Structure 1
Amino acid sequence: MITMQYSFTLPADYDMSIIDRRIRDKGPLLDGFPNLGFKAYLSARKGEFGSHDNLYAPFYLWQTPQGASDFLCGPGFETLTDAFGWPQVRTWIVWQAEISPDIAPARFATRDILQTEAYTPLADIRRAESAATEADLATGGALASISGFEPTSWTRVRFRLWREIPKIGEHTQTYRVGHLSLP
């Protein structure tokens, strides 16, 4: 499994109802896409939940890299880039993904990107991240919890989907979930 996210930073005075409408109209088009674990159509408004910018930032969980490749090479992504430009697409190898069967009511998402200290034993970090991911679903109230690793920039991602807005950390990016495409 891999995760993927791209983000478009929009002007401070951007009418975010345009993004809401885009999500409402285009979101269902990816429902049932082959090899998709889920796609969370995410947005953030400047000043809300500590966001510094207006953002449109979908997050994907892919069952196989082929699914991500098929999407990126397909007409939906081409339409997106025609409208918003060519984004940097970040990807992470999934260490642990815990998904509740009751994921559909997710209304909020949080994402943390953490730097990995050089020469830290990765197996130890993976074990700790995997345990935290499992605990988020079992006791923390998350509807989905994913941890992943990217070895080019030595970053880790913690992504969570929530029914209610959780306590937010200082460096956590929080989003509203406008639509959730499922397999």
Structure 2
Amino acid sequence: MIAMQYNFVLPADYDMAAIRERIATKGPLLDNLPRLVFKAYLHAEQPEHAYAPFYLWRDEEAMHGFLNGPAFAGVARAFGWPSVQTWTPWHATVVAAVREARVATHSSAVIAPYSALSELREQEEAYAQQALAQGALAVVIGFEPVTWTITRLCLWRDAAAGPATPGERRYHVGHVSAPGLTSA
């Protein structure tokens, strides 16, 4: 599997109703995309206006097929050429009710040089299990060894459990396409 996200920071006066309309119109188009586990259509107004879709792909060929295709070309024409971040998942759980997600939490952490990666991975697995116990509908923990970062995405049915932690970003989830749910 491979996790992927791009983030468009929009002007402060951008009409976010246009993003919600785009999600309502374009979101269902990926509901049956082969080898896509899920795509969460994320958007936020605080602390800045943003559109930040998050994907979990079955394999890198599926991701490349999307990035090389007309759907991504349309996104790039509408918003500009984004930096696409990718991670190898250390953990990925998606429950049957993921399409009911309305809130996402996202955080990243820099891995200290010479960290014991096996211990860090165990800690992140504990984080994932705690989020699932609190009701998360999806948890993806991504590992990226170029910039040595960990990324955590959790999807929730409604307001996430507890207050936001330092460095955590909260998003609205406008739609979840989950064609690969049965085999995730």
Q: 3-state DSSP class of the match of 1:104?
A: helix
Q: Secondary structure at the match of 2:99?
A: coil
The alignment covers a number of residue pairs equal to 177
1:101 corresponds, among 73, 78, 96, to 96
C-alpha displacement of 1:164: 1.5
CA distance in 2, matches of 1:164, 1:78: 32
Moved segments of 4+, more than 2 Å: none
Partner of 1:56: 51
Q: Identity, % of aligned pairs?
A: 46
| 1:12 pairs with 2:8 | no
SS where residue 86 of structure 2 aligns?
strand
Q: Is the 8 A contact 1:143 1:162 kept in 2?
A: yes
Distance 2:72 2:66 in 1: 7
- CA distance in structure 2 between the partners assigned to 1:151 and 1:102 by the alignment: 32
C-alpha displacement at 1:134, in angstroms? 2.4
**Residue 98 of structure 1: CA displacement?**
1.2
How do residues 20-169 of structure 1 correspond to structure 2 at under 5 angstroms? 20-45=20-45, 51-137=46-132, 139-166=133-160, 167-169=163-165
The CA deviation at 1:170 is 2.2
Gapped regions of structure 1 (runs ≥ 5): 46-50
- C-alpha displacement at 1:15, in angstroms? 0.5
- Provide the C-alpha distance between the structure 1 equivalents of 2:80 and 2:98, rounded to a whole number of angstroms: 31
Cα distance between partner residues in 2 of 1:112 and 1:73: 28
Deviations 1:60-92 (A, max 9, x none): 011111111110001000011011110000011
Q: Calculate the TM-score normalised by the size of structure 1.
A: 0.94
Verify the 8 A CA contact 1:93 1:149 in the aligned structure 2. Answer: yes
Note the C-alpha offset of 1:135.
Answer: 2.8
Residue 177 of structure 1 deviates from its aligned partner by 0.4
Q: What is the CA RMSD across the aligned residues, in angstroms?
A: 0.9
Long gaps (5+) in structure 2 = 180-184
Amino acid at match of 1:29: L
